[in-house]
Amino acid sequence: MKTVRQVIATRTGPVLSVTSDTSVYDTLQVMADKHVGALLVIDAGELNGIFSERDFARSAVASPKPIKETPVKEVMTGKQYLITVTPKDTVESCLNLVSTKRIRHLPVMEDGKVIGIISIGDLVKETIEYQQFLINQLESYIQG
């Protein structure tokens, strides 16, 4: 099975992120524009949290402030709760993490720096491709 490094290797461009002072509204706008379900929250090169659709849903109920006035740091999942992976981790181990921890996004860290993010969708896609590869190999073996 592939490693996280292999999954993110084909991606180009910077890792999408916002700062902790970015408003919830502006963060949601970036998420909508880029068609992503979460953004990393990075300040001065340091990963401080993640903001996901789930964070927004929970904050909509809990926060009385309008989203244009609420900084993302007030409603994000803070770094003390983040679960990260390394490029050496396997797709299988990441699937286990998202399943047991009930999360959808995993920041990828190397040498203390963010180098990417993978989602449950990325992991499922890779798993399906791997299973199809195995099926093709077995069919080829059986057919001789």
Residue 12 pLDDT exceeds 90: no
Query: Mean pLDDT, to the nearest integer, of 106-111?
Result: 97
pLDDT for 86 equals 98
> Which token pair is 7?
């999954």
Residue 117 pLDDT exceeds 80: yes
Q: State the number of CA atoms in the 13 A half-sphere of 98 facing the CB.
A: 18
Query: Mean pLDDT, to the nearest integer, of 126-138?
Result: 91
Which domains are delineated in the chain? Answer: 4-143 (3.10.580.10)
Q: State the number of CA atoms in the 13 A half-sphere of 108 facing the CB.
A: 23
Total-model pTM: 0.88
Residue 18 pLDDT exceeds 90: yes
3-state secondary structure of 51: strand
Evaluate whether 72 touches 43 at the Cβ level (below 8 Å).
no
Rounded Cα distance between 105 and 114, Å, is: 13
In a 10 Å sphere around its CB, with 0-12 CB exposed, 13-18 middle and 19+ buried, how is residue 100 labelled? exposed
Q: Which of 36-40, 114-118, 122-126, 129-133 has the lowest mean pLDDT?
A: 129-133
